[in-house]
């Protein structure tokens, strides 16, 4: 029985965060909390939050901190996230979100922040060919499509190109990542919470690198 883990995964768009986070959440039996997935679900459901977030998301801009912080705070109170842990994907994205996360978690704290490192040339190629299931968010690509006619192998949902996987939005998101999210790497390094993992390789190979880093940290706690 796994003891759970409190983990944040950082990485540029297309670094394989989603794929690794789904697997880590199964391995540690903790919820996968992906702010991008939550926001896309709100857009599809046309909730007040979704209508507010839609335009910024299509352009590749960030949603205001207070909106995302509230959404995460509510999510942490469900599914035993505070007891067993979680895999946080896409949050925090700015230093101010990271500071708030620390406050939200008290008296708990993170075990580890994994930074998946993949060269920009590789992520650009991955993003241009990426296709995702609109229901379960499983990730495919034009070179590895689902078996039957863009229908998800896992849940039967429609597999599409994300609205923000256009060239303009991709460039905007990668620029924002460098400006706003990359400083998080230093923030967590200073707190001795950071583990930089080579994100190039098959999903299985990268997963084993990540689990090794988490296990090593947990054994020292």
> Which is closer to ligand AMP, CB of 178 or CB of 215?
178
> Which is closer to ligand AMP, CB of 93 or CB of 217?
93
- Known catalytic membership, residue 130: yes
> Which is closer to ligand AMP, CB of 183 or CB of 208?
183
- Known catalytic membership, residue 17: yes
Q: What are phi and psi of 156, to 5 degrees?
A: 85, 5
> Which is closer to ligand AMP, CB of 60 or CB of 146?
60
Residue nearest to ligand AMP (CB): 36
Name the DSSP class of 152.
-
- Known catalytic membership, residue 173: yes
Token pair 């299931």 in the structure block, residue: 133
- Known catalytic membership, residue 162: yes
What is the number of other CB atoms lying within 10 angstroms of the CB of residue 162? 19
Cβ–Cβ under 8 Å, residues 108 and 71: no
Cβ-based neighbours of 124, under 8 Å, separated by 6 or more = 14, 170, 174
Put the strands of the sheet holding 139-141 in their side by side order: 139-141, 130-133, 159-160
Which of 40, 126, 131, 173 is labelled catalytic?
173
Nearest approach, Cβ of 5 to ligand AMP (angstroms)?
20
Site residues (vs ligand AMP, CB under 6 A): 13, 35-36, 39, 56-57, 60-63, 68, 90-91, 93, 97, 164, 173
Nearest approach, Cβ of 132 to ligand AMP (angstroms)?
9
């Amino acid at each position: 029985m796994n003891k759970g883990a409190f983990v944040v995964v950082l990485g540029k768009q297309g670094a394989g965060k989603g794929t690794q986070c789904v697997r880590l959440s199964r391995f540690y039996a903790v919820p996968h909390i992906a702010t991008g997935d939550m926001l896309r679900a709100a857009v599809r459901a046309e909730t007040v939050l979704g209508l507010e977030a839609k335009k910024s998301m299509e352009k590749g801009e960030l949603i205001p901190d207070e909106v995302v912080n509230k959404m995460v705070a509510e999510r942490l109170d469900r599914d035993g996230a505070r007891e067993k842990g979680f895999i946080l994907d896409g949050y925090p994205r700015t230093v101010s979100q990271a500071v708030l996360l620390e406050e939200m978690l008290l008296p708990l704290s993170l075990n580890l922040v994994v930074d998946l490192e993949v060269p920009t040339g590789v992520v650009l190629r991955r993003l241009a060919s990426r296709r995702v299931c609109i229901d379960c968010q499983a990730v495919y690509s034009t070179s590895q499509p689902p078996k039957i006619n863009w229908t998800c192998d896992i849940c039967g949902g429609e597999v599409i190109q994300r609205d923000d996987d256009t060239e303009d939005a991709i460039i905007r998101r990668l620029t924002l990542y460098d400006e706003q999210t990359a400083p998080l790497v230093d923030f967590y390094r200073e707190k001795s919470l950071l583990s930089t993992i080579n994100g190039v390789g098959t999903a299985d190979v990268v997963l084993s690198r990540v689990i090794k880093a988490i296990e090593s940290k947990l054994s020292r706690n």
